Amino acid sequence: MKINEKRLEERMNRINSIAVTAESGMMRLALTDADKEARDLIVSWLEEAGMEVKIDDMGSVYGILKGTNPDAKPICVGSHADTQPNGGKYDGLFGVMAGLEAIISIKESGKRVESSLILVDWTNEEGARFVPPMLASGVVSGKFDSQWVYDKEDVDGIRYEDELIRIGYKGQKENRLKGIKAYFEPHIEQGPVLDAEGKNFGVVTGALGITGLDVTIKGEANHAGTTPMSHRKDPAAAAAEAISAIRQNCIDFGDPAVLTVGVINARPASKNIVPGEVYFSVDLRYHTDEGMTELEEQTKQIIMEICSKYIVSVDIARYWRADPASFNESIISCVEDAARENNMNYIRIISGAGHDAVFINEVMPTGMLFVPSIKGMSHCPQEDTRWEDIVKGVEITADVLLKLDKADV
Ligand SMILES: [Zn+2]
């Protein structure tokens, strides 16, 4: 379905001109003045389109276009307008503006839509100001308690709830998203796959699960000069071999498995002491429950075997597990049909990143689409998507909403 490309461009540029860094990055951290300015604009556009505006107790903004059938469950579309510090111009905002422009274009086309169409802008998706990410969708999906979120503080000790009140976006609990037929989130890929494979569209089938491990290896701290190599119990040597072995194991496990060691610390951290203890983190991700458990077991086994070879002890604790997400099959079909009818060069793809859609998927039928990120860059000023891919993504968003209205989800 054709959309108003000029309006889309003007409105995106308007929001992306609010808080621009010296490197041309975006700086709309959640619940700051810049976030408020973006929200105010979105609300004004919703009102201009004759949509009813509601705010929930977490500050998420909803705009509702009434459907023709009061008994039909609503369909929700959207994403988040907050950014990382010095972030990109499309992460999050694309989904909000795609949803908004799609709903308005459907209204202007005069097409009969039975379901009410709801646009959502989720609060604090990025987790850049208030940790962890996806706080508002986490409350809606029952993952987080609202008081726990209210008490979250930024680095300056400023509370989430106080900022919500300050910018005038503390709404009511009864306005939270519920009872919908489908939630649909358009997003940029934030990875290199579509661009590298020359595809212009991604039908998202789910998201990788995440397992986080804390690995602590204990050996014997000793003098770096007087301790011969044969007499050492060196946790750094064990860690080095373990990290390289679990990485190779992940590669052998095959796509889409990924494994990251993001933190390494040695104690006592002196340049002339064989360390007594080494800590490293492991973040591993996979798209099936079974596979993720298997990869976790293999990873632990490899670490333990290497540690016993080095005569050091090891403690491995799991600090985090998020189950892999599989999106709703009917919604995936609607997205795939819309891609085919628009002659897109598409593939089915699994998201490696977390999104509000991953939380919402646990309680409501959910789906996503990806537009390509040039060179896979994201969370930085270089983040970019070809304009024709943005426009196509919005047109397909409108087509998906119309298909969902007719579909049995
Ligand atoms: Zn995002």
**Residue finishing a domain among 277, 292, 322:** 322
How far is CA 11 from each of CA 4, 6, 16, rounded to the nearest angstrom? 11, 9, 9
In tens, the pLDDT along 382-408 reads 999 999 999 999 999 999 999 999 999
Strand partners, 217: 278, 314
Give the per-residue pLDDT at 9: 98
- What whole-number distance in Å separates Cα of residue 196 and Cα of residue 361? 28
Residue 1 Cα to ligand 1 middle (Å): 25
- Please state, rounded to an integer, the average pLDDT across all residues of the chain: 97
Could you tell me if 169 and 94 lie in one domain?
Answer: yes
**Residue finishing a domain among 290, 322, 354:** 322
Residue 356 Cα to ligand 1 middle (Å): 8
Q: Show Cβ contacts of residue 52 under 8 Å, excluding neighbours closer than 6 positions.
A: 63, 64, 66
Give the per-residue pLDDT at 298: 98
Residue 393 Cα to ligand 1 middle (Å): 15
Could you tell me if 234 and 363 lie in one domain?
Answer: no
Residue 286 Cα to ligand 1 middle (Å): 20
Residue 77 Cα to ligand 1 middle (Å): 14
Could you tell me if 162 and 48 lie in one domain?
Answer: yes
Residue 187 Cα to ligand 1 middle (Å): 7
Could you tell me if 154 and 233 lie in one domain?
Answer: no
Is the pLDDT score of 96 beyond 90? Answer: yes
Residue 276 Cα to ligand 1 middle (Å): 41
Give the per-residue pLDDT at 168: 98
Confidence of residue 36 (pLDDT cuts 50, 70, 90): very high
Give the per-residue pLDDT at 321: 85
Is the pLDDT score of 195 beyond 90? Answer: yes
Is the pLDDT score of 23 beyond 90? Answer: yes
Determine the structural domain holding residue 42 and report its residue range. Answer: 5-207+324-406
Give the per-residue pLDDT at 322: 84
Closest CA to 206 of 93, 106, 332, 20: 332
Could you tell me if 108 and 223 lie in one domain?
Answer: no
**Residue finishing a domain among 322, 351, 369:** 322
Residue 272 Cα to ligand 1 middle (Å): 45
Could you tell me if 199 and 249 lie in one domain?
Answer: no
Residue 376 Cα to ligand 1 middle (Å): 14
Q: What string of H, E and C letters represents the secondary structure of 240-288?
A: HHHHHHHHHHHHHHCCCCEEECCCEEEECCCCCEECCEEEEEEEEEECC
Q: What is the CATH number of the domain that holds 309?
A: 3.30.70.360
Residue 301 Cα to ligand 1 middle (Å): 35
Q: How many domains does the chain have?
A: 2
Could you tell me if 312 and 366 lie in one domain?
Answer: no
- Taking a C-beta distance cutoff of 8 angstroms, is the pair 186, 366 a contact? no
Could you tell me if 51 and 115 lie in one domain?
Answer: yes
- What whole-number distance in Å separates Cα of residue 248 and Cα of residue 244? 6
Give the per-residue pLDDT at 320: 85
Residue 396 Cα to ligand 1 middle (Å): 19
DSSP character for 73? P
Could you tell me if 148 and 237 lie in one domain?
Answer: no
Could you tell me if 291 and 341 lie in one domain?
Answer: no
Rounded mean pLDDT, 361-385: 97
Could you tell me if 240 and 353 lie in one domain?
Answer: no
Q: What is the CATH number of the domain that holds 36?
A: 3.40.630.10
Give the per-residue pLDDT at 13: 98
Give the per-residue pLDDT at 400: 98
Is the pLDDT score of 63 beyond 90? Answer: yes
When mean pLDDT is compared across 110-119, 203-212, 263-272, 316-325, the lowest value belongs to 316-325
Could you tell me if 217 and 131 lie in one domain?
Answer: no
In tens, the pLDDT along 138-168 reads 999 999 999 999 999 999 999 999 999 999 9
> What are the start-end ranges of the E strands in 33-150?
52-55, 61-65, 75-80, 117-122
